[in-house]
Amino acid sequence: MSKDVNVAILGATGAVGKELLELLAERDFPLKELKLLASPRSAGSKINFQGREITVEAVSDKSFAGVDIVLASAGGSISKTWAKIAAKAGAVVIDNSSAFRGDDDVPLIVPEINPEAAEGHQGIIANPNCTTILMGVAIYPLHQIQPIKRIVVSTYQSASGAGARAMEEAKVQARDILDGKQPQAEIFPYPIAFNLFPHNSPLNEQGYCEEEMKMVNETRKIFNAPDLKITATCVRVPILRAHSEAVNLEFEQPFDVDRARELIAAAPGAKLVEDWQNNYFPMPMDATGRDPVLVGRIRQDISSQNNLELWLCGDQIRKGAALNAIQIAELLLEKNLLTGANSTVSV
Amino acid sequence: MSKDVNVAILGATGAVGKELLELLAERDFPLKELKLLASPRSAGSKINFQGREITVEAVSDKSFAGVDIVLASAGGSISKTWAKIAAKAGAVVIDNSSAFRGDDDVPLIVPEINPEAAEGHQGIIANPNCTTILMGVAIYPLHQIQPIKRIVVSTYQSASGAGARAMEEAKVQARDILDGKQPQAEIFPYPIAFNLFPHNSPLNEQGYCEEEMKMVNETRKIFNAPDLKITATCVRVPILRAHSEAVNLEFEQPFDVDRARELIAAAPGAKLVEDWQNNYFPMPMDATGRDPVLVGRIRQDISSQNNLELWLCGDQIRKGAALNAIQIAELLLEKNLLTGANSTVSV
């Protein structure tokens, strides 16, 4: 992690883009130059970064010359258009969209779980789905000791999963309801304030929504466990920016609950939060703005001797998106896995 | 259901008490006299019922003379003090607290599930826990066709479960947060607005809270299925008065998902709410103030061939408490199961 690198953020004005900027500063990322890219519509706006004003440029074929790392968080269609162009220009694209996550030649990485997967990259690395990252960090330490057979998970997902405008909508609706007015839904299909609903991503023929299938398919890929059985119920709740998950894990044999606690307490990226005396466990208000995935209420499932129950909360924008992307970037530097002009490695 | 009866409400000023009054009026319950009882602290206040003003009386030994049915919703300690006195005076007590639910000689009834249990009553009938009632109504139609082996349930429980003051607290906190102020928690241990937390009832040695153990033990009693395996994760969410639940059901053999839909669509007390095209399923905003338990997203579990997933929402104060109690009262009239002076049956 010695030499400084040129970084471009594609989609710098969104919720994840803003968090990327904050994290680059906070973590003292070895930046040489920082380029902010967006669609022509958002170009021209100015963003303050460490006291400097940076003008957002419209993304074009020329944008990626000399760029080492592109942090892309402008949605799937933008990524599909630009990621390969950027990679061809010599950058490594760390893509926050779902566009490439299923591709065999694109590593899908949670640095605490499968950092080795970065070694095979061909210019694009996918940042996993937020809900999947948070669950993965919490349960992988157990999976390493005794492979998980089956997961039944229910999620409690914040508005931030649908972007900054969805967070704003949740607040406006809450105020309307408190004032006795009818809440208006624009970003979400239904009001989210004082309400909740199954995740509104498209449903497949089996009745699972895309978000749920991301948890299934991405967890399998990240864990390199193609036979891992997973069922998920993903639900949007009136929370601003931290996701929670109730996870039931089935193993081949009983998993000692105290051992599970020790493993999670020692796991990178996770923090054990359990105060049984005071009934204090992970909550969105405590996970918000923080790096670790908070994990607690680890219990022996009373309905099945080979199962454990656990509960987790994590910041959806931070570890669920921006932080994980930055950690992937740090991993590339550390392992000398850049591909472009600035790198010692060539593709 | 011919002759009119004398009813007393113990705890008429609470959230459930108010709903009981509303339902007695709405359902045209065959009332002769209505008595409102409360602790000496709440006595003296006046409540409007169908145009009449009724003064709340302080409960005493004399309160139950001539009363046929007591609807008790003033909490466990009040019920423990007065239920047996009322029963001895000839009333049937329909008790909304958890005080007697586990007692062998006290029937625990959801009229859509086990109305026959009322026949054995000895003056006290317990109204089950709200979360348990809602799940029971949704899944019993399936259990009747093929016994459920194991349930994994995660709940999304509204503030109303902790009473009217908790609902008010949720609103005050939401406004404070929107105004940039620090939310204050009094009823709940932590802020509930824009936050959520595992249910704050006392934890047992296995790490399950009381609410979760109610779901386990009460479902077994209501279904008369002592070996039914259940694990639950109960969570309080910033919703005012409807609970939601994500339920995973394991059977001995595969349960046809279309058959499950038909059964739930035809089930008393349940309403199938599924619009797969529009990703529209049960939501608290639609369940609020309504009688039926809304059930939907019935799916074949992709992780296990013998399992189904389903999702439900129900009004916590209505079917989760007051409506179920009134339905028990109606059942007593219909089956001529009153015990007192007004009844043809004697104990």
Q: Does CATH number 3.30.360.10 belong to domain B131-316? A: yes
Write the residue in A194, A216, A285 that is nearest to B195 by C-beta: A285
Q: Is B63 annotated as a binding residue?
A: no
In the numeric block, the tokens 């479902």 are attached to B219
* Token pair recorded at residue A44: 């021209």
Tell which wins on pLDDT, A346 or A54.
A54
Give the mutation candidate from A233, A234, A257, A281 for the B interface (greatest B CB count, under 10 A): A233
Q: How many alpha carbons lie under 13 Å from residue A60 in its C-beta half-sphere?
A: 7
Mean pLDDT over B278-293 rounds to 98
Q: Does CATH number 3.40.50.720 belong to domain B5-128+322-334? A: yes
Tell which wins on pLDDT, B326 or A2.
B326
Residue A51 confidence (pLDDT) above 80: yes
What are the tens digits of pLDDT across the range B54-77?
A: 999 999 999 999 999 999 999 999
Closest Cα in chain B, distance from residue A288 (Å): 10
3-state secondary structure of A134: helix
Q: What share of chain B is helix, strand, coil (3-state, %, to 5)?
A: 35, 25, 40
Mean pLDDT over B161-173 rounds to 96
Q: Is B161 annotated as a binding residue?
A: yes
> Out of B121, B130, B143, B199, which one is annotated catalytic?
B130
* Residue B40, pLDDT score: 85
Measured CA angle at A195 (ends A191, A200), to 5 deg: 60
What are the tens digits of pLDDT across the range B16-63?
A: 999 999 999 999 999 999 999 998 888 899 999 999 999 999 999 999
Give the mutation candidate from A149, A230, A279 for the B interface (greatest B CB count, under 10 A): A279
Number of residues written out for chain A: 347
* Residue B41, pLDDT score: 85
3-state secondary structure of B218: helix
Place A1 in a pLDDT band, splitting at 50, 70 and 90: very low
H-run or E-run covering B78: helix B76-88
Domain A5-127+322-334 class in CATH: alpha beta
- Parallel/antiparallel/unpaired status of strands A57-58 and A31-38: parallel
Q: Is A305 annotated as a binding residue?
A: no
Place A160 in a pLDDT band, splitting at 50, 70 and 90: very high
* Residue B322, pLDDT score: 97
Mean pLDDT over A206-234 rounds to 98
Is B48:B24 a contact under the CB 8 Å cutoff?
no
* Nearest C-alpha in A relative to B238: A194
Place B113 in a pLDDT band, splitting at 50, 70 and 90: very high
CA distances to A91, A115, B320, B331 from B316, rounded to whole Å, are: 55, 46, 4, 21
CA A102, CA A74: separation in Å to the nearest integer?
18
Mean pLDDT over B182-190 rounds to 97
Q: Is B15 annotated as a binding residue?
A: yes
Closest Cα in chain B, distance from residue A214 (Å): 13
Assess whether the region A5-127+322-334 and the region A131-316 belong to the same CATH fold: no
Is A126:A255 a contact under the CB 8 Å cutoff?
no
Is B281:B252 a contact under the CB 8 Å cutoff?
no
**B130 catalytic per annotation:** yes
Residue A2 confidence (pLDDT) above 80: no
* Residue A41, pLDDT score: 85
Mean pLDDT of chain A: 95
What are the boundaries of each domain within chain B? Answer: 5-128+322-334, 131-316
Inter-chain touch B154–A154, beta carbons under 8 Å: yes
Burial class of residue B330 (count of CB atoms within 10 Å of its CB; 0-12, 13-18, 19+): middle
Residue A340 confidence (pLDDT) above 70: no
What are the tens digits of pLDDT across the range B190-216?
A: 999 999 999 999 999 999 999 999 999
Closest Cα in chain A, distance from residue B178 (Å): 7
Residue B14 confidence (pLDDT) above 90: no
Sign (positive/negative) of CA torsion B274, B279, B283, B286? negative
User: ipTM for the complex?
Assistant: 0.96
Among the listed residues B164, B161, B159, B127, the one whose alpha carbon sits nearest the alpha carbon of residue B13: B164
